[in-house]
Amino acid sequence: MDTTTANGVNSIEPPGRPQLHNLTALRAFAALSIFIHHLKSFGIDASQSIRNMDLGCAVSFFFVLSGFVLSYSFAGRFFDWRDVRHFVFQRFFRLWPVHMLCSFFALVTLHGPASLLTAYLTTTLQSSWIPTYGTAYAYNGVSWSISVELFFYLLLPFILILRPNQVMLVICGWTLAVLGLLAFTAVLPGPVFPPSSERPWLDFYVTDASFVQLFPPLRTVEFLSGIAVYQLFRLRRIPAGWLASTQIAAIACLVLYAGVHDEITRSLADHASVMASVAYREYGMYPVFAALVYVFAHQSGAVTRVLSCRPLIFCGEISFAFYMIHQIVIFNLAYNYEFDKHYGPIAATISAAILSLGLSVILHRTAEKPAIAWAKRRFPMSRLAPSSPHMPLAALV
């Protein structure tokens, strides 16, 4: 666990600003990475075959991308409290229909444990706000990330109304606070919370791992890094002659760093705390993702021309629906039909990919797009920026 992200950020075109087609296409690769990560249910451990890369950390890329794209799309559009409310409602209903359909499908087909608490938290997109795996992974496990996204949505307007220097102060202060907390836990003699059980996805209590992975204020550092990238992008651009080489270099750095990511995680697990190792595993790559977003936000360069082809853009557009449905499909094939045991893991993987793609197209066209259109009509926001885009809301009420 856009959010242009698979966690719910659509490719918006703000007035006078071009669409970020190549960032939309990158969503498809991030969603594919998470799909491959979840193939463990078929006995395929991608981390053992792709240079020990933890592909599950692509959720961190979505959070970084979400901060950038939402800042790019909504900076200067918060005139008053009505705009704040309507922004939150637009984003909520951007996620909610696909989320609820997938959760219902998971409940009916996978027969997971259900309770009034998990039903309430799932319905209101607050499942990660109580950072236990039992609540966050209820029904559709991947939905924990859109619960974190909702926290981001509530926070964003109160950051974008600040002046740029104030924004950077907030980002630096919040990031230092989180990193300081993680550094403090690294030197503690023991865990802060009780240890996980043998089946942590059923734990309805906070553990060190669930706290640092799920708790929205901690994951906010990734979202804030995306906002910081937007501030940089607004002020400084890469010269056109350097873009192609910079994009290739960014991809190379990502691959090289991802190759040692697992080794660093295991070292932290051996010599530091559970919190520090899990935090690094889940979002230790976000600075690299932030650099990648900055480089590819420029809508030119050789790699951009490849990413801007229509098939990749379409895959990026349906990536949220794909992200929300793919694990349910994998679990059904693996546990309800034992498809991998009957036909082999490769056949199971191909079947899961085809089914997930087909269902994601249906969800995108019948639930996601109509919900976005309805929310924009029902909760319109101001279209024109005020004379001072950083005027405090309090002065406008």
| CA–CA dist 130, 139 (Å, integer) | 15
Q: Tens digit of pLDDT for each residue in 224-258?
A: 999 999 999 999 999 988 998 999 999 999 988 88
How much is the average pLDDT of 45-62?
79
Choice between 113 and 294, residue whose per-residue pLDDT is larger: 294
How much is the average pLDDT of 167-193?
93
Which residue in this structure is represented by tokens 């349906």? 318
Contact between 234 and 389 (Cβ < 8 Å): no
Non-local (6+) Cβ contacts of 107 within 8 A are: 114, 139
The rounded radius of gyration (Å) of the Cα atoms in the chain is: 20
Q: Tens digit of pLDDT for each residue in 347-382?
A: 999 999 999 999 999 999 999 999 999 999 999 998
What dihedral angle (degrees, nearest 10) is formed by the CA atoms of 23, 28, 34, 36? -140
Contact between 121 and 129 (Cβ < 8 Å): yes
pLDDT at 171: 97
pTM of the model: 0.91
Q: How many CB atoms lie within 10 A of CB 18?
A: 8
Is the pLDDT at 394 greater than 50? The verdict is no
Letter string b/e over residues 238-255, b meaning 16 or more CB atoms within 10 A of that residue's CB? beeeebeebbeebeeebe
How much is the average pLDDT of 82-88?
96
**pLDDT category of residue 288 using cuts at 50, 70 and 90:** very high
| CA–CA dist 102, 96 (Å, integer) | 10
Q: What is the CB-side half-sphere exposure of residue 274 using CA atoms within 13 A?
A: 15
Q: What percent of the chain has pLDDT over 90?
A: 73
Is the pLDDT at 396 greater than 60? The verdict is no
DSSP letter for 192, please: S
Burial environment of residue 63 by CB neighbours within 10 A (0 to 12, 13 to 18, 19 or more) = buried
Non-local (6+) Cβ contacts of 281 within 8 A are: 54, 57, 261, 265
| CA–CA dist 50, 165 (Å, integer) | 41
**pLDDT category of residue 9 using cuts at 50, 70 and 90:** low
Closest CA to 366 of 325, 327, 331, 333: 325
Contact between 277 and 269 (Cβ < 8 Å): yes
Residue ranges in the chain assigned as alpha helix (H):
21-37, 46-49, 58-74, 81-110, 116-123, 133-136, 144-160, 164-186, 208-214, 216-235, 240-271, 274-283, 286-296, 302-307, 310-317, 319-331, 339-343, 345-363, 369-378
Choice between 177 and 388, residue whose per-residue pLDDT is larger: 177
| CA–CA dist 264, 61 (Å, integer) | 19
**pLDDT category of residue 265 using cuts at 50, 70 and 90:** confident
- According to DSSP, the residues that pair with 9 across neighbouring strands are 5
Q: Tens digit of pLDDT for each residue in 119-129?
A: 999 999 999 99
Non-local (6+) Cβ contacts of 358 within 8 A are: none
**pLDDT category of residue 16 using cuts at 50, 70 and 90:** low
pLDDT at 384: 55
How much is the average pLDDT of 265-286?
90
How much is the average pLDDT of 90-95?
96
pLDDT at 339: 94
Contact between 131 and 210 (Cβ < 8 Å): yes
Is the pLDDT at 51 greater than 70? The verdict is no
Q: How many CB atoms lie within 10 A of CB 118?
A: 22
| CA–CA dist 121, 40 (Å, integer) | 27
pLDDT at 8: 54
| CA–CA dist 99, 106 (Å, integer) | 10
| CA–CA dist 56, 283 (Å, integer) | 10
